[in-house]
Amino acid sequence: MTQQRDIHITEVALRDGSHAIAHQYTVEQVTRIAKALDQANVPYIEVSHGDGLGGSSLQYGLSRTNELELIEAAVSVCKQAKVAVLLLPGIGTMKELKQAARIGAKMARIATHVTEADVSAQHIALAKELGLETVGFLMMAHMAPVEKLVEQAKLMESYGADTVYVVDSAGALLPQEVRERIRALRQSVSANIGFHGHNNLSLAMANTLAAIEEGATRIDGSVRCLGAGAGNTQTEVLVAVLDRMGIETGIDLYKMMDLAEEMVAPILQAPQEITRDSLVLGYAGVYSSFLLHARRAAKKFGIDSRDILVELGKRKVVGGQEDMIVDVAAEIAKKKLKSVAH
């Protein structure tokens, strides 16, 4: 039987969900959703471009609205929830982190590839200096052996991270692999341990529960599954499941169900389901936010987006290498032309 434990949920639909709607959030949408999440007693609400502070660009996708306006809008309606921001060193800068803190963000999640924690040192230090709750976010966690993950988590903890996350950016981890990683971190670091799942192999909930059973206490969810790829662990479902397990989150389940149905569902361009493309993301172990980029490239070159994603997986392409997607698509199209000519 699972013991009672303190689980803190961070709602990521206003950040990770930005990928699913091509970064087209409006101030009005963010204000309404953040207010409803706050009223449902969600403790943390992450608001940023899908690729974090400073992500609005041709490479990652241009935002419809300046993200600082979105962050400010969320802060203005949150009475109890803390607004969190994501920052990927190299995309976001110290300046943007300072701006986010100035307008009321209370948590900074500093994200790096699973083997590159060393690039987060100054950003984690600055976040602490600014008085922010600070999280180290180890992305694409399936791409490193457990020992490497532990080593990198220790680095983030040594820089001052209050929490270190195992981030299954590709939705590629299996429940046993999540267990091994969370267990190893729990034995090696004293920081809080978090888990961020994606549903590309339909395992986000199973993986999240495996993480909680092994001692993760900081958990990400996205309402109505609104996130990159096939979305994240669905927050309102997670709240219901944890309630059934006797684990208290403090979140109002009915309010979560209502806002999912009435506010978030109408924003979705298509239902968050496991399509052939998002399934291939999990299968090939490819960054979930590559999905829209791969579809566009496939259309442009007249090829199958699955071929692009599988090839990206073989090449172990990671977040920040979005420019490779078009290169790979062009190569596949060229090969296809050659084989037709022969």
Q: Which residues are catalytic?
A: 19
Stretch (H or E) spanning 291: helix 290-301
Q: Hey, which residues does 92 pair with through a beta bridge?
A: 89
| Element holding 69 (H helix, E strand) | helix 67-77
The helix/strand/coil state of 288 is coil
SS3 state at 88: coil
3 state DSSP class of 167? strand
8 is in an annotated binding site: no
Is 179 annotated in some ligand binding site? no
What's 313's DSSP letter? H
* 198 annotated as ligand-binding: yes
What is the rounded distance in angstroms from the CA atom of residue 75 to the CA atom of residue 77?
6
287 is in an annotated binding site: yes
> Residues 224, 190: contact at Cβ < 8 Å?
no
Q: Which residues lie below 8 Å from residue 156, measured CB to CB, with a gap of 6+?
A: 110, 117, 120, 124, 136, 138, 164, 191
The answer to whether 196 is a known ligand-binding residue is yes
* DSSP annotation of 119: G
DSSP structure string for 142-187: GGS-HHHHHHHHHHHHHHT-SEEEEE-TTS---HHHHHHHHHHHHH
Q: Does residue 63 have a known ligand-binding role?
A: no
Sign of CA dihedral 234, 11, 71, 263: positive
Q: How far is residue 318's CA from residue 111's CA, in Å, rounded to a whole number?
A: 13
Phi/psi for 247 (5° steps) reads -105, 120
Annotated binding residues, as ranges? 15-16, 169, 196, 198, 287
Annotated binding residues for Mn(2+), as ranges? 16, 196, 198
Annotated binding residues for substrate, as ranges? 15-16, 169, 196, 287
